[in-house]
Amino acid sequence: MLFSSRPSRASATLASAAAAALLLAGCASGGTTGSTGGGSAAPDAGDPVSGGTLVYASGDAEPDCLDPHVRGNYPQALLAGQFLETLFTKDADGEIVPWLAEGADVSDDGLEVVLTLREGIEFTDGTPLDAAAVWANIDHLKDPDTGSSTGYLAVGKIAEGTVEDARTLRLRLSAPDAALLESFSQPWVAIQSPAGIGRGQEENCAAPIGTGPFQVASWTRQDRVELIRNEDYTPPAEGAGHEGPAYLDGISWRFIPEAATRQSALQSGTVHVIDNPQPDAIAAAEASGALGHLDAPRPGASNRIELNTSKAPFDDPAVREAFVKSVDVDAGVESLFFGTARRSYSPLSSVEPMGHGDPAPFGVDTARAAELLDAAGWDERDAEGYRSKDGQRLSLEFPVSTNQSVPAEQSLFQQLQAAAKEAGFEVKLNLLDLSSWYGALFANDYDLVSAPYTKVGPDVLRILFHSDSTIPAPSGYFANLSQVKDAELDRLLTEAGEEADPTARAALYDQAQAFILAGHYILPLYDQQNHFLHSTSLQGVGATTAVASPVFHDVWIAE
Amino acid sequence: MSGPGSVPRGAGLPTGPRRSARLGAAAAGPPGLVAGGAGRLPALIAGAVAAVVVAAALAPGWLAPFDPLAIDPSAAFQAPSPAHWLGTDESGRDLLSRVIHGARDSLLIGAAATGVGLALALLLGVPAGLGAGGGRAGRWLDFGIGRVLEVLFALPGLLLALVFIALAGPGVATSVVAVGLGTAPGYARLIRTQVAVLRSSPMIEAAVVLGRPRGTILWRHLLPNALAPVLVLATLGLGQAVVWASALSFLGLGAPPPAPEWGSMLSAGRTYLGIAWWMTVFPGLAVVAVAASSTVLGRALSRRAAGL
Amino acid sequence: MTSKRTTPVRGRPGAGPGSRRRVVSAALRWLALKLAGAAFVLWAVATLIFVGIRLIPGDPAEAILGGPGSQASAEALAAARAEHGLDLPLTAQYAMQLERLAQGDLGQSYSLRVPVAELLAEQLPGTLLLAALAWALAWLLALGLALWSTLGGRGAALVASGLEIAAAAVPHFWLASLLVLLFSNALAWLPPVSTNTPAGLVLPVTTLALPLAGFLGQVMRESMLTAISSPFALSARARGEREAGVLLRHGLRHAALPGIGLSGWALGSLVSGAVVVETIFARPGLGRTLLGAVTLRDVPLVTGVALASAAAYVVVMAAADLAERIADPRLRAA
């Protein structure tokens, strides 16, 4: 029972190479149910035992606030998934299913949503989870003082809310939102105790109060967050591996930014789980079976290089096509990722059911690239062998954020740089700290850029490719980094976002993605890599939140 | 008994008549003059290493078997072999070629940083040294500069460099200035002492008595004599500047990849420590070889200067 | 050397001999001088950074919040301007800054969103422990090597000299990698992540200590050699003192002197090393905090760490001064 078809909230692909190979690019569903793949659980591990503290080593940046409402990034989601829960979540088939909520009724015009909550759920401070509490959370997200960016966007179409009774919340929307339940499944919109929020941001950031299987005990900055078991926890809905509180006494969540140190720590038994492992370590773990591996690609966008169409030379579609045709991504992905990352041909992650991939625009064809560039007027070569036009070198600025790009990816970019040079492009690769990287984007000082974006559901396309997203937010950030502004694409994305019928919605997103791929606005690379290596003494690893961050409720330590 | 000067005293000591700021004052660390002892062999070895490194820096193309930037994904992570003596890196680039080409960037950054440090040191040290033996105003000048140096010493090692980078942002130029700033106070104190001693030496007194113009005295007599030991110190300091600059690159605050700079090569190597030890070991050995040989050479030079 | 100003002595009339009073007043004077020097250094470092922020082109509010592109919102910028009085004339800003520092208010770290002073208090003990152990180990190694090479003759001297030069030339980050490779990955003897347990401290302390020992060893051995061939060492031998006694009594003392003199420099090496070591061994501390702050250009936090280590420097220098007076009989008279 435990290891055959254990239901899970959103089981990620427990990757073995074989399981991975079965999934076809661009059309994967949300993972396989309770797969027992690659070394997760030894079959004779016995019955689950309670006790022990799991030591988790995170390579992601240490959050500056543990409340994922504030700003809202992936490192926050990783942690918050242990102590906060969401109204909805994703099941093993990638379907959005109720979790803290019991259900949602959407009116025919799509402008009204009635949320019904489950009964008898309490936050760890004893506050009951009721409609007023949920509305307080939405209110918190919409409050500019909270400084939410991810959650704020997710609840953007909610105009007002009415508490009908303790279990019923009526939401009025400014426009139909087909992505609302997807949005509610994200940890950045997780529900916290209103009493906790009421303590003020400084206190709430240090220890948000939720309903999850664990709660925050302490946080030592630059070092660790200590989580302890929520003794009163029981999963609100079907789908968890077991009823009742977590097996673990607690989790010691350590921040170890150095990948090599993290790996050594796992191998030496100092820690049980690491995130962001090096690809070579994943491959070695797969081969030897000495470590368990959880492969949980993030939903939302794929990792891709965006081509800035707002200025020369990429305002010319022919030059974009020439660039895409001159660089060989596959060889680099193969050698640098050791077979742990599969090439993507879609703007969406392979876990998005509505993803659409097409390898055709991305075949390497250097002869064709040369033709295109000659025809576009870049037909001279300067002393260093780069193409030029009217004495202007064919030069591309490529700012890379070292905080957002793993070393293997940075090496891949170097390889693309070398390949582009053959074709006559000068790619100026600038490794920048996050602040300078944002600075380069704000100044429109880039031709190529790679920026991850995680969101549940295909609505991420609207955020990344709608012309509205070229307008900077008050923070200065804009998500449409290819700066495509096309009325037809805008229409497709807006309609898809408001379309209630799944089939019609999928068709609209199909068209939109085909448009994006054919226009060479992006060069898709692979899914947002989200791997976890763990000691084989850990059993029951696999359940994740809707954004593919692991939840350790079912996990236990076998000795 | 050891008079002032024979015991090299430390870097951060407040200036004062009791304090000698001989060689040990520099950021290069205390050189410790070995009297006789070691013989000539170490200096010869160090000289040979230095010659190879300088040759690599001047004409890397002659020595390197491959293009340091040539990528070949199919040849990635190859262990040292007859084809690639030091193995290959994550993009299949030949490590030996990269280490050889890296000599130029690493040495240039180290030398530039030392140059910046010396220039700043001259700016502070010469006026202070001239002032030290001069009139009331001169002594105030010396006192003022002494306090400035004291403050700079209070941000020792990489600290001043890191503060500077925090303000000015990372990059090659910044790290050159940053390392230069970090080494300047040590050089400045040494120059001050040298100038002060020379100023009251019979040779200068004689020149003054003979009525030579002040500028001539400064340029012809003072500076050349003050600079000789400083150049010795620069030799010692160069190695340490290379180490520091590579540390900044390693921390991601210096030279960016794919430039074959030793520090950034080491940073990449650390990523693959588990599967490609050669990516960490060889560039690191290059840094150690440069730093060690510059120490040995600097010490040999200073022995010669001291007439031993 | 006694100061006239200290003559109105607090003691009862006739209490204590004058010489003791003189000693106390000399000590007080020494302390006052050190305190004044410390205040000066801290003031100057704060001033240096104040000027630095305003010298870089661009908006100082933006610089405080992490440089261009820090995504600082208009409100955050306005708040930073108000907090630092950036709309006021420069002199008023400067006065405001000094007043806040004098009250111990180091401001708020924009990247970690906590008061800098709180963060420093949290991170300092770990770094102190690491640095103190490394310092002690470096001294032990350097003195041990000096003793051994003095006793072992020419061959030993050559080996010791080679070891010292090599150790001094090794970058911390490289040494750390090699130690982890050998002792954590290959042999699995020691954990690669540092904790405050003996096993968890071995690798980071060794990494910090070896290069420092290389530097210290070079000067200590030199000084020891000079001392044991000095006239008073000869006369000690002539008095029939045994060689070991001469070495321990005179050699060690003279070897220690330049080591003490290099304390300020050693502190710099340890602080710089801590940046690397704490990062590689995932050890919480000031060095790792500093690197994070520099990477994110968190100026208030960088300022805080700089002031903290400048303060440490001042303390170390005062202690070194004292230690030197105790170790060096020539200075005791002064």
Between CA C29 and CA B265 the distance in angstroms is: 53
Strand partners, B94: B88
Name the percent of chain C lying above pLDDT 70.
87
Give tens-digit pLDDT for B244-260.
888 888 888 887 767 78
Q: For the purposes of burial, counting CB atoms within 10 Å of the CB of A559, is it exposed (0-12), middle (13-18) or buried (19 or more)?
A: exposed
The subunits that touch chain C, with at least 3 C-beta pairs less than 8 Å apart, are A, B
Residues in chain A where the model's pLDDT stays below 70: 1-45, 473-476
Min Cα distance A420 → chain B (Å) is 12
Cross-chain CB nearest to B166 (options C44, C218, C297) = C297
Distance from CA of B207 to the nearest CA of C (A): 36
Given CB atoms, is B9 within the 8 Å cutoff of chain C? yes
What is the pLDDT at residue C68?
55
Q: What is the mean pLDDT of residues B103-124?
A: 90
d(CA C85, CA C78): 10
Chain B residue at shortest CA distance from A329: B73
The answer to whether B90 and A408 are in contact (CB under 8 A) is: yes
Record: contact C69-A435, CB cut-off 8 A: yes
Number of helices and strands in chain C (H, E): 14, 0
Strand A426-432 and strand A395-401: the pairing is parallel
Average pLDDT over residues C45-61: 77
With tokens 């992006």, the residue in question is A522
Under the banding of pLDDT at 50, 70 and 90, the label for residue C99 is: confident
Higher per-residue pLDDT: C331 or A271 = A271
- pLDDT for C141 equals 94
Residues of chain C with Cβ-Cβ distance to B251 below 8 Å are: 173, 275-276, 279, 291
d(CA A146, CA A141): 7
DSSP label at residue C275: H
Mutation target for C interface from A73, A146, A224, A268: give the one with most C CBs within 10 A.
A268
Report yes or no: C168 at the B interface, CB cutoff 8 Å. Answer: yes
CB contact under 8 A, A435 and C191: no
C300 min Cα distance to partner chain A (Å): 16
> How would residue B8 be classed by pLDDT, with cut points 50, 70 and 90?
very low
Residue B188, CA distances (Å) to A8, A426, B26, B118, B248 in order: 68, 43, 8, 8, 23
User: Which of B69, B257, B270 lies closest to A431 in CB terms?
Assistant: B257
More confident residue, C82 or A198: A198
Is any Cβ of chain B less than 8 angstroms from the Cβ of C30?
Answer: no
- Listed in sequence order, the residues at least 6 apart from C128 whose beta carbon sits closer than 8 Å to its beta carbon are none
Taking the Cβ of residue B155 and every Cβ of chain C, the question of whether any pair is shorter than 8 Å is answered with yes
Q: Which residues, 6+ apart, have CB-to-CB distance to A368 below 8 Å?
A: A322, A325
Neighbours of chain B (3+ CB pairs under 8 A): A, C
- The per-residue pLDDT for range C126-174, each reduced to its tens digit, is 999 999 999 999 999 998 888 888 877 778 888 888 898 889 899 999 9
Whole-model pTM: value is 0.83
Instruction: Give the mean model confidence (pLDDT) for residues B170-183.
Output: 87
> What length is written for chain B?
308
CA distance A170 to A148: 23
Is the pLDDT at C271 greater than 70, yes or no?
A: yes
Residues C124/C307, Cβ–Cβ less than 8 Å? no
Residue of B nearest to C319 (CA): B13
A503 exposed, middle or buried (CB, 10 Å; 0-12, 13-18, 19+)? exposed
**Option in C170, C173, C267 nearest B266 (CB):** C173
Number of CB pairs < 8 Å for A and C?
A: 99
Helical pair C299-327 and B158-168, crossing angle rounded to 10 deg: 170
Hey, are the CB atoms on A474 and C73 less than 8 Å from each other? Answer: yes
Count of CA atoms in the C-beta half-sphere (13 A) of A118: 18
Q: For chain B, count helices (H), then strands (E).
A: 11, 0
Cross-chain residue pair A331–B252, CB shorter than 8 Å = no
B273 touches chain A (CB under 8 A): yes
HEC letters along C58-111: CCHHHHHCCCCCCCCCHHHHHHHHHHHCCCCCHHHHHHHHHHHHHCCCCCECCC
- How far is the alpha carbon of B277 from chain C, nearest alpha carbon, in Å? 8
What's the Cα-to-Cα distance from A327 to each of A311, A364, A434, B134, rounded to whole Å? 21, 6, 26, 69
* Interface membership of B172 toward A (CB under 8 Å): no
- Report ipTM for this prediction: 0.80
Q: Which two tokens stand for residue C82?
A: 């108000």
Cβ distance A280 to B272 less than 8 Å, yes or no, reads: yes
Average pLDDT of chain B is 79
Q: Find the CB nearest C271 among B157, B266, B284.
A: B157
C334 touches chain A (CB under 8 A): no
Question: What does the DSSP 8-state code read for residue A244?
Answer: S
Q: How many CB pairs under 8 A join A and B?
A: 66
Is A415's CB within 8 Å of B272's CB?
Answer: no
- By Cβ distance, the residue of C177, C279, C297 closest to A435 is C297
| φ and ψ at residue A474, rounded to 5 degrees | -55, -30
Looking at beta carbons, which residues of chain B come within 8 Å of A263? Answer: 274
Decide: A526 and A340 in contact? Cβ < 8 Å. no
A37 in Cβ contact with A22 (< 8 Å) = no
Determine, for residues A261 and C68 on separate chains, whether the beta-carbon distance falls below 8 Å. no
**Residue in C122, C280, C297 nearest the CB of A221:** C122
Residues C299 and C140 sit within 8 Å (Cβ to Cβ): no
Contact A408 B275 (CB under 8 A): no
Question: Is the separation of the CB atoms in C129 and C196 below 8 Å?
Answer: yes
**Number of B:C CB contacts under 8 A?**
237
Q: Is C275 close to B38, i.e. CB distance below 8 A?
A: no
Of all residues in chain A, the one with the smallest CA distance to B169 is: A436
Q: Looking up tokens 């955050």, which residue turns up?
A: C76
Contact between A484 and A468 under an 8 Å Cβ cutoff? The reply is: no
Which residue of B67, B69, B272, B277 to mutate against A (max A Cβ within 10 Å)?
A: B272
Instruction: Answer for the pair A185, A89: CB distance below 8 angstroms, yes or no.
Output: yes
Q: Is C188 on the interface with A (CB under 8 A)?
A: yes
Q: Which residue of A has its CA nearest to C111?
A: A64
Is C69 in contact with A254 (Cβ distance < 8 A)?
Answer: no
Q: Would you give the DSSP letter of residue B17?
A: T
Q: How close B29 comes to chain C (CA, Å)?
A: 6
Q: Who has greater pLDDT, C334 or C91? A: C91
Phi, psi of A116 (to 5 degrees): -110, 135
A415:B91 CB<8 A: yes
Contact with chain C for residue A252, Cβ under 8 A:
no
H helix or E strand, kind and range, residue A160: strand A158-165
Asked if A143 reaches chain C (Cβ–Cβ under 8 Å), the answer is: no
Contact A222 C296 (CB under 8 A): no
- What is the predicted pLDDT for the residue at A458? 94
B280–C178 CB contact, under 8 Å: yes
CB contact at 8 A, A8 and A33: yes
Interchain CB distance below 8 Å, B256 and A430: yes
DSSP structure string for A232-298: T---SSBTBSSSSS-SSSEEEEEE---HHHHHHHHHTTS-SEEES--HHHHHHHHHH-SEEEEE---
pLDDT for A538: 94
Looking at residue C18, what is its pLDDT? 63
pLDDT at A118 (0 to 100): 95
User: What pLDDT is attached to residue A44?
Assistant: 56
Distance from the Cα of residue A484 to its chain's centroid:
22
Interface contact flag, C261 B10, Cβ < 8 Å: yes
Question: Distance between CA atoms of B106 and B259, rounded to whole angstroms?
Answer: 10
Q: Kindly list the residues from chain C whose CB atom is less than 8 angstroms away from the CB atom of residue B168.
A: 56
- Whole-number pLDDT of residue B307: 59
A220, A268, A477 ranked by CB distance to C192: nearest: A268
